[in-house]
């Protein structure tokens, strides 16, 4: 449970695209050498009397795309938010890239980290929100360079160059001077993805990235996410887009009432679900 | 009822448009007779008031003109202006601190900030000023110096007005901070931005949109409110004209001198507020 001394097996030379190798292959477990990027162990979380996570265990391998499905209130967004410590867990632990999130372990105790340390951890975990949460008073470019400059201390010039490259990558090279409100929802979400990528995170978390979009704008955002998936970015995506899950996911996780009901390759979970609850859900959304 | 340019028929409601002509029927707005009558009545009353003001020699407009730009009046105006500016800056600095305390996770800081606002909003500013003016009765000496020498009337005015201003500013700033969507804070946190950076770069600039209008109100209120320091013999704009009319008994024209200056400065501030609001509206639909 320490620094990444483990062999950085699937990492490629380009800094912003870690683990570009086995992810594109069909998700038959590619032997034992695969790094675990995210490990979630017996995580519980309550809001008052309501227990929203009731013992979650999940492993996500580096370079893989995990899609979390489930009815609203199933705890999938909360689970995602615990992974970058936006929500604190009540029990259990989560590690990302071999480091505990939000805590330091000493003996059999988990000590909560100071905010500064948590903030440093978060710079390695990108988070994309349902409502984009772009900073409306800053231009697109300023939105993207804010964190690299302020949190990582990058020189501004360097951050601007990187931001422009990212904008080109999400197809918005000409929008760097625009304010978020001048963009469509789909464009805003693509900027939000670029903003998350600007920190060169090891892991990207998407919380229903297309749920706030007009139907005709969903495709352009999913295309960007697919593109990232093909480049081997490790991602956990909470979504209602079954088609996207089928096409992109290495693993589909179905949650209900704070538990993981079923998980596996999309061909299994989506087409031959074992659990009655999964079948009932899919019959309603498909 | 066709599209011809005949005079609008003042007749009864027309029957449903006759489809005989297939041209689009012209829309005739309703006549607002009452509106015209009210406007004329108000203008007549206003003209009457204006004429009486101009023709009433007791206003002594000549005297007003003589004193409008005398050195002592301008000195008073200057003091009013810098006192207003200083009180606003110090008041909002302290008020922002109080607002952040109130919104912090620390229950003691929350309670202290709440108590401050409660205390300073619960007493009239006049009473507070008189209290600070007489602070020497409670603490004759501060750090070995006579309080009376340490705190002259101007210092008392600055302290008294600032502490009062801060209580109101705290609520204005707190309201502004609360108006910023929670998702903004979460986005900033998930990008690894520290608390100070989040406040200064993300929250406060967005809070300014809701802070500026009430702050503009407060600025104008403070400008006029500083006239209260005339009771502790601080030579602000009001006190300066009072000094003159106590000598010359030209009470009305000298009050008019002060009034004209207050109106002029307030008008300038209103214009300034418009531009400040426009600045902080950038990136929103209202930005022009």
A170 with A193: CB under 8 angstroms? yes
Chain B hits for A120, Cβ within 8 Å:
192
Chain B hits for A125, Cβ within 8 Å:
190
Minimal-distance CA residue of chain A relative to B181 = A133
Residue A10 confidence (pLDDT) above 70: no
Q: What is the pLDDT of residues A119-150, one digit of tens each?
A: 999 999 999 999 999 999 999 999 999 999 99
Residue with tokens 């952040």: B100
- The reported pTM is 0.78
Complex ipTM value: 0.83
Q: Give the number of other CB atoms < 10 A from CB of residue A263.
A: 19
Q: B14 falls in which pLDDT band (50, 70, 90)?
A: low
A40 with A64: CB under 8 angstroms? no
Of A137, A146, A179, the CB nearest to B206: A137
- CB contact (8 A) between residue A181 and residue B184: no
Residue B282 confidence (pLDDT) above 70: yes
Chain B hits for A115, Cβ within 8 Å:
194-195
pLDDT at A16: 41
B168 with A118: CB under 8 angstroms? no
Q: Which residue has the higher pLDDT, A39 or B149?
A: A39
Is B195 part of the contact surface with chain A (CB cutoff 8 Å)? yes
Ramachandran sector of residue B30 (left: φ over 0; alpha: ψ -120 to 50; beta: rest):
beta
Q: Taking residues A252-256, what's their average pLDDT?
A: 96
- CB contact (8 A) between residue A84 and residue B190: yes
Minimal-distance CA residue of chain A relative to B183 = A133
How far from chain centre, in Å, is Cα B7?
Answer: 49
pLDDT at B18: 55
Cβ contacts below 8 Å, chain A against chain B, sum to: 74
- CB contact (8 A) between residue B192 and residue A86: no
Minimal-distance CA residue of chain A relative to B202 = A135
How far from chain centre, in Å, is Cα B214?
Answer: 7
Q: What is the pLDDT of residues A44-66, one digit of tens each?
A: 999 999 999 999 999 999 999 99
Q: What is the pLDDT of residues B169-218, one digit of tens each?
A: 999 999 999 999 999 999 999 999 999 999 999 999 999 989 999 999 99
């Amino acid at each position: 449970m320490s620094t990444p001394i483990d062999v950085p097996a699937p990492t490629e030379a380009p800094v912003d695209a870690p683990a570009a190798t086995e992810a594109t292959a069909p998700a038959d477990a590619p032997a034992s050498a695969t790094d675990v990027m995210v490990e979630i162990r017996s995580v519980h979380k309550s809001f008052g009397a309501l227990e929203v996570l009731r013992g979650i265990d999940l492993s996500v391998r580096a370079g893989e795309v995990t899609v979390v499905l489930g009815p609203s209130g199933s705890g999938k967004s909360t689970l995602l938010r615990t992974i970058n410590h936006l929500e604190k867990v009540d029990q259990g632990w989560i590690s990302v890239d071999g480091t505990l999130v939000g805590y330091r372990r000493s003996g059999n105790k988990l000590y909560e980290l100071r905010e500064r340390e948590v903030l440093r951890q978060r710079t390695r975990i990108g988070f994309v929100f349902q409502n984009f949460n772009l900073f409306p008073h800053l231009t697109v470019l300023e939105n993207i360079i804010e964190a690299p400059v302020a949190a990582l201390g990058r020189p501004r010039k360097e951050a601007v160059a990187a931001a422009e490259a990212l904008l080109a990558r999400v197809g918005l090279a000409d929008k760097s001077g625009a304010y978020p409100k001048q963009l469509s929802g789909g464009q805003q979400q693509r900027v939000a993805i670029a903003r998350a990528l600007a920190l060169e995170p090891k892991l990207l978390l998407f919380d229903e990235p297309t749920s706030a979009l007009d139907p005709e704008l969903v495709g352009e955002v999913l295309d960007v996410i697919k593109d990232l998936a093909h480049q081997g970015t490790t991602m956990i995506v909470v979504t209602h887009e079954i088609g996207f899950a089928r096409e992109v996911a290495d693993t589909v996780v179905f949650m209900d009432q704070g538990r993981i009901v079923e998980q596996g390759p999309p061909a299994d979970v989506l087409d031959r679900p074992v659990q009655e609850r999964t079948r009932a859900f899919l019959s309603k959304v498909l | 009822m066709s599209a011809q340019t005949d005079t609008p028929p003042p007749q009864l409601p027309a029957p449903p448009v006759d489809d005989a002509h297939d041209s689009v029927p012209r829309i005739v707005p309703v006549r607002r007779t009452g509106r015209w009558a009210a406007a004329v009545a108000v203008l007549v009353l206003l003209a009457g008031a204006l004429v009486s003001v101009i023709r009433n020699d007791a206003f002594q407009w000549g005297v007003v003109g003589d004193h409008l730009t005398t050195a002592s009046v301008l000195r008073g105006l200057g003091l009013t202006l810098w006192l207003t500016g200083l009180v606003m800056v110090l008041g909002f600095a302290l008020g922002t601190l109080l607002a952040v305390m109130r919104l912090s996770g620390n229950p003691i800081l929350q309670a202290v900030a709440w108590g401050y606002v409660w205390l300073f909003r619960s007493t009239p500013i006049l009473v507070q000023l008189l209290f600070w003016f007489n602070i020497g009765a409670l603490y004759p000496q501060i750090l070995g110096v006579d309080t009376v020498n340490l705190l002259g009337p101007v210092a008392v005015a600055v302290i008294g007005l600032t502490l009062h201003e801060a209580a109101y500013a705290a609520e204005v700033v707190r309201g502004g901070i609360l108006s910023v969507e929670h998702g903004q804070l979460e986005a900033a946190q998930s990008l690894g931005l520290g608390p100070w950076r989040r406040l200064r770069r993300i929250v406060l600039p967005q809070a300014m949109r809701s802070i500026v209008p009430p702050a503009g109100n407060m600025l104008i209120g403070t400008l006029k409110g500083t006239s209260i320091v005339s009771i502790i013999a601080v030579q602000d704009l009001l006190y300066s004209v009072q000094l003159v009319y106590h000598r010359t008994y030209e009470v009305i024209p000298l009050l008019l001198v002060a009034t004209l200056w207050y109106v002029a400065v307030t008008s300038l501030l209103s214009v300034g507020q418009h531009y400040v609001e426009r600045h902080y509206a950038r990136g929103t639909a209202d930005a022009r």
